[in-house]
Amino acid sequence: QVQLVESGGGLVQPGGSLRLSCAASGSSICFKAAGWYRQAPGKQRGLVAGMAGGGSLNYADSVKGRFTISRDNGKNTVYLQMNSLKPEDTAVYYCHQVFNWRDFWGQGTQVTVSS
């Protein structure tokens, strides 16, 4: 069974940066894809950044040029570097990873952008 543990959320001022981490634990797991999603109060959960197993990346238009998704294969960890944060980036961020063609979700981490 794979478990995902997220970390790195918090309170940051507009224009600041945060890096979210999503560490996967488990044995004999084959990585297929990953993504970061977010859900603001009263809104649906939506994709922020995605990574396919072949390395292709995609981003929501609202975060292009500001957010970067990456992965450390040796650590089985996916990251989301968030720069130039805006108040509208405030949400709970969820990590999603696909191993052995099964979906796994992190517990969510709150990101609040406010002065």
Partners of 23 in beta bridges: 5, 77
Report how far residue 104's alpha carbon sits from residue 11's, in angstroms, rounded to the nearest whole number: 26
What confidence score (pLDDT) does residue 55 get? 83
Locus of tokens 């405030």: 90
pLDDT digit string, tens, across residues 10-58: 999 999 999 999 999 987 788 899 999 999 999 999 999 999 988 899 9
70, burial (CB in 10 Å: exposed 0-12, middle 13-18, buried 19+): middle
The identity of residue 43, as a single letter, is K
Q: Is 92 helix (H, G, I), strand (E, B) or coil?
A: strand
What confidence score (pLDDT) does residue 26 get? 81
Tell me how long the chain is.
115
What confidence score (pLDDT) does residue 53 get? 81
Locus of tokens 């040029």: 65
What confidence score (pLDDT) does residue 54 get? 84
pLDDT digit string, tens, across residues 66-89: 999 999 988 999 999 999 999 999
